[in-house]
Amino acid sequence: MKTAVVTGASRGIGAACAVALAKSGYNVILGYKVNKERAEQLAEVLISGYGIAAIAQKADVSLSSEADALIETAYRNFGRVDVLVNNAGIAGFKLFTEITDEEWNEMIGTNLTGVFNCSRAAARYMINQKSGSIVNISSMWGQVGASCEVHYSASKAGVIGLTQALAKELAPSNVRVNCICPGVIKTDMLSEIDEETIASLVEETPLGRLGTPKDIADSVAFLCSDRAEFITGQVLGVNGGFVI
């Protein structure tokens, strides 16, 4: 049985990815930073609903020790690390000149260094196995940049670069690395955006609606599957046509 690790799986897109991978028959390790109860409840639902094994574990991805321990849990319990979904992330809206050192470092530490930490830990196992799939969750703002989100956009552009370089390096080991750039997805991350702004974002989306966590999770499950075995280093926009 294959094993998947999903970071930031306590809610939103990460939780939907954990569900989609459990549905596909993977054992799942669910990482979280603070929402222990939600992650543990989801693990229980996955175990009873899909007959797979699921473990919730605290892992602040910005800390390499916790990222290492998360991946180690997958290997220790199931003997394999087949899939890593680097989903954990934070957002922030700030005028560029008002971004503090602390906010910059937290953004890069979580969204970019977090991807580095978890990918490095997982790649060590995947290279030995001669198989594996890493899917990184970037953002359309990493492709085109968002005003008042320079630190967020920079971290997500970094994820795209990391994906492309790592895909080239790991392809000879049969490890695929791809990246999804979501558009505007209805999760807690939108909670600080007012209704008027949300309405205008919907209007700017050619398909005329917000995305759902499941929209992203379905693409993640596809990229991890055998149906995508010739796909690596790609940046897939799942954005309702917002960025074309």
Concerning whether 152 is annotated as a catalytic residue, the answer is yes
Chain positions contacting ligand NAP, by CB under 6 A: 7-8, 10-14, 31-35, 59-62, 87-91, 110, 137, 139, 182, 184-185, 187-190
Annotated active-site residue in 32, 50, 125, 152: 152
| 3-state SS, one letter per residue, for the chain | CCEEEECCCCCHHHHHHHHHHHHCCCEEEEEECCCHHHHHHHHHHHHHHHCCCEEEEECCCCCHHHHHHHHHHHHHHHCCCCEEEECCCCCCCCCHHHCCHHHHHHHHHHHHHHHHHHHHHHHHHHHHHCCEEEEEECCHHHHHCCCCCHHHHHHHHHHHHHHHHHHHHHHHHCEEEEEEEECCECCHHHCCCCHHHHHHHHHHCCCCCCECHHHHHHHHHHHHCHHHCCCCCCEEEECCCCCC
* Shortest spacing between CB 37 and ligand NAP, in angstroms: 10
* Shortest spacing between CB 128 and ligand NAP, in angstroms: 25
Please, which residue, 52 or 181, has the CB nearer to ligand NAP?
A: 181
Rg (CA), the chain: 17
* Shortest spacing between CB 76 and ligand NAP, in angstroms: 20
Q: How many CA atoms lie within 13 A of 7 on its CB side?
A: 34
* Shortest spacing between CB 8 and ligand NAP, in angstroms: 3
Please, which residue, 132 or 182, has the CB nearer to ligand NAP?
A: 182
* Shortest spacing between CB 199 and ligand NAP, in angstroms: 15
Please, which residue, 167 or 181, has the CB nearer to ligand NAP?
A: 181
Please, which residue, 182 or 240, has the CB nearer to ligand NAP?
A: 182
Catalytic residue positions, numbered: 152
